Amino acid sequence: MRTVQKKVCMLGDFAVGKTSTVQRFVEGIFDDRYLSTIGVKINRKQLTVDDYVATLLIWDLAGGDDFSSVTQSYLRGASGALLVCDVTRAESLALVERYAAQIRSVTPSASLILLGNKIDLTAQRTVSDSDLEAFSKRINCGWLTTSAKTGQNVDQAFVQLTLQIIAKSHLAEHDDPAT
Amino acid sequence: MTSTSSDLPAALQEAITRRHVHDGTAHAIVSTELKIIHCSADFGRFLPENTAQIEGSLLTSLFAEFIGSEPYLRALLHNPDEHYAIKRVNRTAPDDSVHYLDLELTGFDPQRPELGWLFTIRDTTEVGRLEQSLIQERNQLRLARRELALVNRELSRLDQLKTIFLSMAAHDIRAPLTVIRGYVEILTSMAEINPVDIDFDEFAAFLNTIRVQTDWLDNIINNILGLDQIENDQLVLHIVPCDLNSIIMDMCDMMQATAKLNQRTLTCSPADHPVIIPGDHQRLQQILQNVIGNGIKYNQTGGKVHISLSTSPEFAILTVTDNGVGIAQDQLPHIFELYYRTESAQKSQVRGTGLGLFIVKTLVEAHKGTIEVKSTIKSGTTFTICLPLLLKK
């Protein structure tokens, strides 16, 4: 088994469920109350994928439309990010494009996955699977629908992101034998 | 090159090591290897209680916030204009309260990068909590504003539909009135000009047309009044034991004239026994009038409408089947919505307000019943209404 430690970021508009997604993944719980995150909260979680024991340092960042240099500095050294939108708020999907551009300007090789969260709110859903599919093609990443409330696809999202990060590291090693 | 304590002026080391925090800040000297060489006396209060060793530890092992940023930090040592800061780092205390820290690394001297960094921790809990509560309120306001915009949009849509409905209803009321007035004038002139030679068959046919148009008018007005009661939560049912069998036979007779006028065939297969349900007689008639009326309206010349009544151990099962234009599958889920009219209904010349099926569903449910619809385009539609029997078998 090889061990790796990777920094991943949670990015997206406010109240899309970034903190709840992390809480579901790390602690296996869900809290219905909305508490805005300011600054950054870092969580660790170890998971085993393929032949790797990966420790993820998950940077849960404040959401919203602040794309300042302060936010940019938080993204340094990130190997990947989950770009989260709320499937009941179409405008939260539009903001994802700016987050994708921001992290790619800091770390161009970062692995990204788009999450359409709150999939449990079926009746209020305004962002369809085909919207997510089309959007993920535009920003060149994979996508999943998730529910931090029920836990649907949450582990899957982090596992897939880790697999992508590891695969990219592999490629980098093969491209540059010195690393 | 690695910094050591001896590289730094003794006075600075002394100042940092002995410094006691009174202003919520703590400092440490960090080597180029990212190890903490010296720290101020109460530096440890920003670390977990079980932290055994501070001096000599890697900065990244005590502050995970710096993991991944090492290359950037090294570059920083040569740049006099830059420092590395992470603001509002969240720390959850054992009592679940959130504290905020600002972390900052600054190179001691860009000319002498081997001296390493000065690491400053600032406790910003007070201002962080204030900031958090302001952002929380701002975000909640944004969410509320968005909700309000959605509700406003829906209200505008309903208002627009209501305007359309009023104009349709006015048109629908005027149309039978015009017909009634026309026939009354014909009948009056017939009586005035030649009362002796009146063709009584023709006379009866004209009167029948007037009756049909009056029934139609009555239905529109009942629906409007029904909607008003539903919207104002004033729908009251006068529940008494009703024989649904006799109601459907009466309604079938009553609507024969409408069917004939529209060149449709209306047939009825009642049950062979009374079917007693707890219901409001007038409302049950309203249900039937709307459903049968739709079967007649959305049909073609020579079309058929059939009503049947059967029972299960618990329910009276009423079906109204027509071989009319049918409803597209994607529109079926919406047909019971207020003011909804199918695309084909809108394109057709058939008059309608989009009230009937909404009222039917509301009334059926008020009778603790259910209504289902199956339809195939160009083949017809079947409505199945189940209403609880007064006495279960």
CATH of the domain at B46: 3.30.450.20
Give average pLDDT by consecutive 10-residue segment, chain B, 393 residues: 54 60 79 89 81 87 87 78 86 89 86 86 94 94 94 87 73 75 84 78 84 80 77 81 94 84 91 95 88 90 95 96 91 86 73 80 93 92 96 77
**Which residue among B93, B123, B153 closes a domain?**
B123
pLDDT of the residue at A81: 97
CATH number of A2-175: 3.40.50.300
Helix (H, G, I), strand (E, B) or coil at B99: strand
Classify strands B117-123 and A80-86 as parallel, antiparallel or unpaired: unpaired
Residues from chain A contacting residue B81 (CB–CB below 8 Å): none
Please tell me whether residues B238 and B119 are part of one structural domain: no
Q: Which domain holds residue B290?
A: 234-388
Please tell me whether residues B114 and B245 are part of one structural domain: no
Type of residue found at B213: Q
Distance, in Å, from the CA atom of A84 to the CA atom of A93, rounded to the nearest integer, reads 8
- Residue B206 covered by a domain: no
**Which residue among B92, B123, B154 closes a domain?**
B123
What's the Cα-to-Cα distance from A45 to each of A25, A35, A56, A112, B40, rounded to whole Å?
8, 22, 5, 18, 31
B88 contacts chain A (CB < 8 A)? yes
Regarding predicted confidence, which is higher, B3 or A90?
A90
What distance, in Å, lies between the first and last C-alpha atoms of chain A? 19
Residues from chain B contacting residue A35 (CB–CB below 8 Å): 136
- Residue B119 covered by a domain: yes
Of B68, B90, B136, the CB nearest to A77: B68
* pLDDT one-digit tens code per residue, A27-86: 999 998 999 999 999 999 999 998 899 999 999 999 877 766 567 778 988 999 999 999
- 8-state DSSP, B46: G
- Residue B276 covered by a domain: yes
**Which residue among B123, B146, B169 closes a domain?**
B123
Residue in A with minimal Cα distance to B143: A15
Domain boundaries, chain A: 2-175
Residue in A with minimal Cα distance to B66: A77
Please tell me whether residues B241 and B104 are part of one structural domain: no
Residues from chain B contacting residue A5 (CB–CB below 8 Å): 67
pLDDT band at A139 (very low <50, low <70, confident <90, very high): very high
Contact of B339 with B352, CB cutoff 8 Å: no
Radius of gyration of chain B, Cα coordinates, nearest whole angstrom:
41
CATH number at residue B326: 3.30.565.10
ipTM above 0.90, yes or no: no
Please tell me whether residues B252 and B112 are part of one structural domain: no
Radius of gyration of chain A, Cα coordinates, nearest whole angstrom:
15
Residue B264 contacts by C-beta under 8 Å, 6 or more apart in sequence? B295, B296, B299, B301, B302, B303, B304, B305
pLDDT of the residue at B186: 82
pLDDT of the residue at A179: 37
> Count of domains in chain B?
2
Please tell me whether residues B118 and B256 are part of one structural domain: no
- Residue B41 covered by a domain: yes
